[in-house]
Structure 1
């Protein structure tokens, strides 16, 4: 993905902030616990926090959370949902926090949008010694037959890189920390945790419609893609009637700060 594509896709979510808040899943509690396992304290920065999907799990775990989000519409949704959270306008490339001010920096389905040449030094700056940087992604478990079929019919705009376990492992195998800070961190670790989201066919379509590739798609093409997905879900016994559980994994990439 080149810089222009990243800017266009990464800035698309504000147009669907309400739908994102309603339909995107939270994160598996065990995954967040693993991400923070070695954090030296409870101060956690949710970076690129969106509408607060990861913030919710952090709060359940008793973390002292500050959320930073660049999109005004997404930030409004976050503040509405979590009025007691310290939520700031900012980005991974310009974090509005002091040096050594957090014990962990986490990003939910967001790290792939960061310009790490700039964001890497900023993250290192705000992290306390031995602090944790972790990216978390909710991915669909395409080892399940009907989910694999859904991935095939949906196309890469709806289910793309990092959206299934194998593609996630490949896409996130390297944090791509810039040389200027790479020596300050240990080796990246990956882990995957079972997860699921209760959906209906309509609400799963609504969820997929909030993917960046779908949001920037020309309307006629977007409706055609969503129509194919609806038709597919109507033909599968697992999804045609009532609610079902969408099989997922919360996948985590974790790296520990080891020096100044």
Structure 2
């Protein structure tokens, strides 16, 4: 997408902060452990932390967490949900922390919004020697037949190029690298996927998809029509028509070490 469209999508979440907090999934603990296993210490920056979905998992695993989020509404939701976490306004391109102050920087469903030409050196600045940068993404497992059907019905606005396992691997393989200008500050990337799931109903899964950036920026009549198609599909499937079900997912991780 062009820069204006990218910025429109990136700034869309604040208006839906409460829905994001309610409906977006957490992250598989095994994925977070793998992301951090090579970090030289427990100090972790959750960058682009949103409403604290990844932050909460980091806290549960005993990390010493500071969260940084640029959107005031998202940051307010994070502070409400996790009042004991140090949560600061800031961005990947302007991190409000001293040099070498964290052992790992993680980003949950956020790294694709970063301008890595600026953010890469900035992340490297705050990382300690041998520190780790890890991006995590929750993706829907479209190897399951009904999930593949849902992806087709939902369209790219709701199920985008990083939202299924194969496309996630291709889209994120070199996402840590600056695309323009500057030398890479990180080593060779590693990718891994970890089974995950989210308990949903047809209505709550539709509400989850409604928090995707492509859906948030749609004109309201078009968005409601798309959500109607999604609900109709879910209502037609025996796996999802009645009551609660588990949405098959993976948490994918891109992990690199600071050079």
Taking structure 1 as the reference length, what is the TM-score of the superposition? 0.97
CA deviation map 1:52-73 (0-9, x unaligned): 0000100011000000000000
Shift of 1:181: 4.2
Contact 1:192 1:249 in 2 (8 A): yes
**Following superposition of structure 1 onto structure 2, how do residues 176-187 of structure 1 map, counting pairs within 5 Å?**
176-178=176-178, 180-182=182-184, 184-187=185-188
Provide the aligned length of Structure 1 versus Structure 2: 257
Shift of 1:166: 1.1
CA deviation map 1:95-115 (0-9, x unaligned): 000000000000000000000
Give the match's secondary structure for 1:148.
Answer: helix
Q: Corresponding residue for 1:81?
A: 81
Contact 1:124 1:181 in 2 (8 A): no
Shift of 1:5: 1.2
Q: Corresponding residue for 2:252?
A: 251
Q: Corresponding residue for 2:52?
A: 52
Give the match's secondary structure for 1:128.
Answer: strand
Matched, 1:237 2:238: yes
In 1, distance between residues paired with 2:147 and 2:237? 10
* Alpha-carbon RMSD: 0.8
Q: Which runs of 5+ in 2 are unaligned?
A: none
Contact 1:187 1:255 in 2 (8 A): yes
In 1, distance between residues paired with 2:9 and 2:34? 29
**Following superposition of structure 1 onto structure 2, how do residues 31-180 of structure 1 map, counting pairs within 5 Å?**
31-178=31-178, 180=182
Shift of 1:176: 4.7
Give the match's secondary structure for 1:180.
Answer: coil
Q: Which runs of 5+ in 1 are unaligned?
A: none
Moved over 4 A (4+): none
Shift of 1:121: 0.6
Shift of 1:175: 2.3
Contact 1:198 1:246 in 2 (8 A): yes
Contact 2:176 2:186 in 1 (8 A): no
Give the match's secondary structure for 1:142.
Answer: coil
Contact 2:112 2:175 in 1 (8 A): no
